[in-house]
Copies of this chain bind each other. A is one copy, B any other.
């Protein structure tokens, strides 16, 4: 019972974070592959600090993980998160963001890292 209440609150916290165009797009991009900050900046056409602040919210909530690779920090979905089942389902419902990454690639702006 106590646990149940927590689950509802955890779900609400996650949904609140997903309930923003920028963050939902970020999560949609991460569904397909890990990305670094500068890629988000390019795709979202937003300032770097703004993107970083959104990523921090997602990370603070445990929805994404980060991993440094050289000068870049790559973000990826945290599939271990308590609410990941809901997240995955949401990401399956929204339009695929792959195309945006492909456009980046064609523009030569996709970060390739072999580490």
A95 at the interface (CB under 8 A from B): yes
Contact flag A24-B15 (CB < 8 Å), given A86-B93, A94-B8: yes
Residues of chain B contacted by A19 (CB below 8 angstroms): 12-19
B11, B18, B86: the one contacting A12 at CB < 8 Å is: B18
A76 at the interface (CB under 8 A from B): no
Chain A contact-residue range equals 20 to 34
What is the total number of copies of this protein in its complex? 2
Residues of chain B contacted by A4 (CB below 8 angstroms): 95-96
Distance (whole angstroms) from the CB of A102 to the closest CB of chain B: 13
Residues of chain B contacted by A5 (CB below 8 angstroms): 95
Residue-wise interface mask of A (11-47) relative to B, using a CB-CB cutoff of 8 A (1 in contact, 0 not) = 1111111111100110010000000000000000000
4 smallest CB-CB distances across A and B, nearest first, come from A16-B19, A4-B95, A15-B19, A15-B18
Given A8-B21, A16-B20, 14 more A-B residue pairs with CB atoms under 8 Å apart are A7-B94, A7-B95, A8-B24, A8-B28, A8-B95, A11-B24, A11-B90, A11-B94, A12-B20, A14-B19, A15-B90, A18-B19, A85-B93, A86-B89
